[in-house]
């Protein structure tokens, strides 16, 4: 073939290709796709719905109808024997179809003519599908499950301990049934997602995750409370009527308290605010090293007596404070003061059964008995020993001059208090032999001198025969008697709770240690 013929052949081929290209362009243009700015190009689908040749509004309507069918698909949530009818939409299903319409509409309408032509040709021959993405709102689904599904929960019922006719009775406990919210949410999401492609006219049934809940306090556990595990008594026989009233009022509020395993007892919370409205009266108490009058004076004897019953029961002490000065009804380091809302006596039930606190304040005797489950060996006993580490002398008298009294006048207004530093030991015996010695606490008590009021008024003609006799000076507080340690806890059968004398109701406040 000559060079001339070869050139003619090449031109012929190029001419044919150009003709085909021109024919394609003419066909595309003639179809109206490339030049129609108001419609989506041909060959476009969104989530299986053809939007080819549609305007944006037409495509949105078509998609909204499709999405609405999915949102309205019926779902039945089974909660035990109950059924809750709902839909995909109410469960929080979401879909942003309008954004995909905008994407489909812009296809083939951007760039230079050649780029637009290539895009349209690819779509016309191969098609273009935008996937619809469905999602579920966590907040909406969680709100639905919490509001609609948990209404059929049955809470577990604890057994309760009561004292009836001198015997402890444990009520029947009950197993609960509760919807597990997180697990139910995950099951709903998974089931809905897996059934997206099915016929929307078909209903879906989803079973909520329901689990049994066991009561915290079963009848078997509560029934264990039958034994006296600790007791202690003190005397308030020499108290004034007001102080005796306070002791009886506080003891009455504690009487009958049931403390379940793991719970903490607060004396201040149980006996309530020391006010006249709550039945307390003004009586002697410690404040800044002095004996003063205050509403609720004497209630510290209640907390102290309870403290000794508690340590005899070997329960866990959470909070305990000594008085500012020693008290006379127990040895040093065996007291437990309460004051305002900052000094409390607290203990925890660290046993495997509830404890029942019986209190009695009758005829000048204050007593506590703590009932529970006795698990200690019968050959094991305990006692408590107070050890004085340091004695602090009160020092010289403090005199207050009264100008209205004659110079011969002398009256003791407050006796001296010896101060101590001490600690309390728990001594454990097995078969009568000491096996363990445990320090329970340390205590510091302030020393206070004797306070004396003396007169300074001079008389013109003193008459020695009429001179008033000096008041007797009370003795300073003596060293506590170590022989007063109570014996180890005894075990006995439960007894009926003694009644506590009722008290009147009035109003005021209290602050300071109650001796």
H helices present in 195-271, as ranges: 219-222, 241-254, 267-271
Q: How confident is the model at residue 70 (pLDDT cuts 50, 70, 90)?
A: confident
Of the candidates 485, 489, 434, 486, the one whose C-alpha atom is nearest the C-alpha of residue 312 is: 489
Residue carrying the six token digits 């304040």: 361
Identify whether the C-beta of residue 515 lies closer than 8 Å to the C-beta of residue 287: no
pLDDT at 496: 40
In this structure, of 4-13, 200-209, 386-395, the range with the lowest mean pLDDT score is 4-13
Q: What is the mean pLDDT of the segment spanning 227-235?
A: 98
**37 within 8 A of 109, measured Cβ to Cβ:** yes
**pLDDT for residue 287:** 73
Q: How far apart are CA 13 and CA 513, in angstroms?
A: 116
pLDDT at 62: 86
Q: How many residues does the chain have?
A: 515
Q: What's the distance, CA 170 to chain centroid?
A: 25
Helix (H) or strand (E) holding 96: none
Give the model confidence (pLDDT) of 12-53 as tens digits.
Answer: 656 555 555 555 554 544 444 444 678 888 888 887 788 888
- For residues 247-262, give the mean pLDDT: 97
| Mean pLDDT for the stretch of residues 209-226 | 96
* Alpha carbon 214 to its chain's center: 19
Residue 59: what pLDDT?
87
Contact 210, 177 (CB under 8 A): yes
Query: Is the predicted pLDDT of residue 268 greater than 80, yes or no?
Result: yes
Q: What is the pLDDT of residues 364-383, one digit of tens each?
A: 999 999 999 999 999 999 99
> Taking residues 247-264, what's their average pLDDT?
97
pLDDT tens digits, one per residue of 270-292: 999 999 999 999 988 887 667 77
pLDDT score recorded for residue 186: 96
E-assigned strand segments in 105-157: 128-130, 134-136
Question: What is the per-residue pLDDT for 462?
Answer: 53
Euclidean distance between CA atoms 490 and 312, whole angstroms: 9
Looking at residue 489, what is its pLDDT?
35
- Window from 54-63, 322-331, 359-368, 500-509 with minimum mean pLDDT: 500-509
């Amino acid at each position: 073939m000559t060079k001339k013929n070869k050139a003619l052949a090449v031109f012929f081929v190029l001419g044919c290709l150009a003709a085909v290209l021109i024919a394609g362009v003419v066909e595309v243009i003639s179809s109206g796709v490339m030049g129609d700015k108001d419609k989506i190009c041909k060959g476009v689908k969104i989530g299986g719905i053809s939007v080819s040749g549609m305007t944006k509004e037409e495509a949105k309507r078509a998609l909204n109808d499709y999405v609405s069918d999915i949102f309205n698909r019926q779902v039945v949530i089974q909660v035990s024997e109950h059924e809750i009818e709902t839909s995909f939409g109410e469960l929080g299903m979401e879909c942003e179809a309008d954004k995909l319409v905008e994407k489909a509409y812009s296809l083939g309408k951007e760039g230079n003519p050649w780029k637009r032509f290539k895009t349209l040709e690819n779509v016309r021959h191969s098609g273009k599908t935008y996937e619809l993405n469905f999602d579920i709102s966590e907040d909406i689904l969680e709100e639905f499950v919490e509001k609609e599904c948990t209404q059929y929960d049955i809470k577990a019922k604890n057994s309760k301990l009561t004292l009836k006719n001198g015997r402890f009775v444990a009520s029947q406990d009950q197993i609960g049934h509760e919807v597990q919210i997180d697990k139910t949410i995950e099951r709903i999401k998974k089931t809905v997602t897996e059934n997206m492609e099915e016929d929307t006219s078909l209903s879906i049934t989803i079973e909520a995750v329901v689990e049994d809940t066991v009561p915290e306090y079963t009848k078997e556990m509560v029934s264990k409370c039958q034994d006296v595990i600790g007791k202690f008594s003190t005397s308030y026989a020499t108290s004034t009527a007001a102080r005796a009233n306070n002791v009886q009022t506080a003891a009455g509020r504690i009487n009958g308290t049931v403390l379940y395993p793991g719970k903490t007892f607060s004396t201040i919370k149980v006996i309530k605010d020391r006010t006249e409205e709550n039945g307390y009266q003004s009586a002697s108490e410690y404040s800044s090293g002095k004996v003063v009058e205050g509403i609720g004076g004497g209630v510290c004897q209640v907390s102290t007596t309870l403290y000794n019953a508690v340590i005899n029961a070997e329960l866990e002490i959470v909070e305990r404070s000594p008085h500012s000065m020693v008290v006379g009804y127990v040895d040093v380091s065996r007291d437990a003061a309460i004051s305002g809302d900052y000094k409390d006596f607290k203990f925890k039930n660290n046993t495997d059964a509830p404890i029942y606190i019986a209190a009695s304040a009758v005829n000048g005797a204050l007593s506590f008995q703590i009932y529970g489950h006795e698990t200690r060996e019968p050959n094991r006993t305990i006692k408590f020993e107070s050890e004085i580490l340091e004695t602090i002398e009160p020092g010289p008298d403090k005199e207050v001059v009264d100008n209205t009294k004659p110079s011969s006048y002398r009256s003791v207004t407050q006796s001296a208090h010896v101060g101590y530093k001490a600690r309390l030991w728990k001594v454990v015996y097995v078969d009568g032999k000491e096996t363990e010695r445990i320090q329970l606490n340390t205590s510091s008590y302030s020393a206070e001198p004797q306070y004396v009021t003396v007169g300074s008024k001079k008389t013109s003609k003193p008459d020695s025969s009429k001179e008033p006799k000096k008041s007797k000076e009370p003795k300073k507080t003596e060293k506590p008697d170590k022989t007063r340690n109570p014996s180890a806890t005894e075990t006995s059968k439960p007894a009926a709770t003694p009644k506590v004398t009722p008290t009147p109701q009035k109003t005021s406040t209290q602050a300071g240690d109650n001796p």
